[in-house]
């Protein structure tokens, strides 16, 4: 599945506005297929999102459990009990696997019964620029890979529209937006090393001022086949650690680019702060496995 990426500096730092923003998407900037894909995802992630929640709950999440559910360990869910039921929030996580946000979505919607509209902004090159990607978006995510962010500089105005969509949703009730502050997937050998923060998450936090839920995810590969085999064999656990929600009163006023970068780095710090808890859990699991093995000899 194509990589999920957050908006970068070029995507989210538009020039100063010259007048009221046009609420209509600038579809003339897109190809015919991109327009089709955007309209379909906009429908499934818009007026039809409740139908897609049912699709996710009764079709996608049982399927996802087959691939990952048996070895998934979740800690910190008690920290989420204080989330107001109708509040919108920004879910931030590290990015090592194609499936990070899918698993987090499964926890919120499948396990916790969240009935928010769920949106994961993504790069357009897979989900919005070819039929296979569009199928994956609609079938395997219920259209939640939305809105798209385009790489081409000619489509920068469309990316500004996508950012407005995210800001408006975070200011309205009952929306969850999943976001990677790193902006792209970490591919280095150390799963605990995070990439440099990008300003996109900082812009959303400063301008919409939502609640922010940090999460650290580990143990997922980038292959569905490997995930299936590991789940059937009870292989290396996949671990999710949730942190305490961050309230908007901790952020300064304003939205300069330097401030966006500073806040985005603070968001990464909130994710890093969960790593010791994940390491301690893995140490406990390794010790338990060692004792079990010794007892069978």
Give me the CATH number covering residue 146.
3.40.1130
pLDDT computed for residue 82 by the predictor: 85
Rounded-to-integer distance, Cα 197 and Cα 53, Å: 31
Specify if 18 maps to a domain.
Answer: no
pLDDT computed for residue 8 by the predictor: 46
Specify if 250 maps to a domain.
Answer: yes
pLDDT tens per residue across span 123-152: 898 899 999 999 989 988 888 999 999 988
Domain that holds residue 230: 9-13+26-295
pLDDT computed for residue 14 by the predictor: 45
pLDDT computed for residue 21 by the predictor: 52
pLDDT computed for residue 15 by the predictor: 41
Which segments in the chain show pLDDT lower than 50? 1-2, 6, 8-20
Rounded-to-integer distance, Cα 247 and Cα 238, Å: 28
Specify if 199 maps to a domain.
Answer: yes
pLDDT computed for residue 147 by the predictor: 95
pLDDT computed for residue 22 by the predictor: 55
Please list, residue by residue across 126-163, b when 16 or more beta carbons sit within 10 angstroms of its beta carbon and e when fewer do.
Answer: bbbbeeebbebbbebbbbbbbbbbbeeeebbebbbbbb
User: How many domains does the chain divide into?
Assistant: 1
């Amino acid at each position: 599945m194509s990589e999920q990426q957050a908006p970068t500096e070029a995507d989210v730092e538009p020039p100063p506005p010259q007048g009221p923003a046009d609420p209509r998407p600038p579809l003339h900037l897109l190809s015919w297929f991109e327009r089709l894909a955007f309209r379909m995802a906009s429908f499934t992630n818009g007026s039809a999102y409740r139908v897609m929640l049912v699709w996710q709950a009764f079709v996608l999440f049982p399927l996802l459990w087959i691939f990952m559910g048996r070895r998934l360990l979740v800690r910190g869910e008690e920290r989420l009990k204080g989330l107001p039921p109708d509040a919108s929030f920004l879910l931030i996580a590290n990015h090592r696997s194609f499936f990070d946000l899918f698993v987090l979505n499964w926890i919120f919607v499948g396990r916790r019964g969240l009935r928010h509209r769920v949106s994961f902004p993504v790069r357009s090159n897979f989900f919005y620029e070819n039929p296979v990607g569009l199928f994956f978006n609609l079938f395997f995510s219920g259209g939640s890979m939305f809105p798209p962010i385009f790489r081409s500089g000619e489509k920068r105005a469309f990316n500004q529209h996508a950012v407005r969509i995210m800001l408006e949703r975070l200011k309205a009730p009952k929306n969850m937006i999943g976001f990677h502050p790193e902006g792209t997937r970490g591919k280095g050998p150390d799963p605990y090393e995070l990439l440099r923060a990008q300003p996109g998450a900082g812009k959303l936090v400063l301008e919409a001022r939502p609640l922010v839920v940090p999460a650290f995810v580990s143990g997922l590969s980038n292959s569905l086949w490997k995930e299936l085999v590991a789940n059937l064999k009870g292989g290396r656990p996949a671990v999710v650690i949730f942190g305490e929600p961050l309230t908007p009163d901790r952020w300064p006023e304003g939205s300069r680019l330097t401030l966006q970068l500073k806040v985005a780095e603070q968001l990464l710090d909130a994710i890093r702060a969960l790593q010791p808890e994940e390491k301690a859990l893995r140490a406990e699991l390794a010790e338990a496995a060692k004792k079990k093995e010794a007892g069978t000899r």
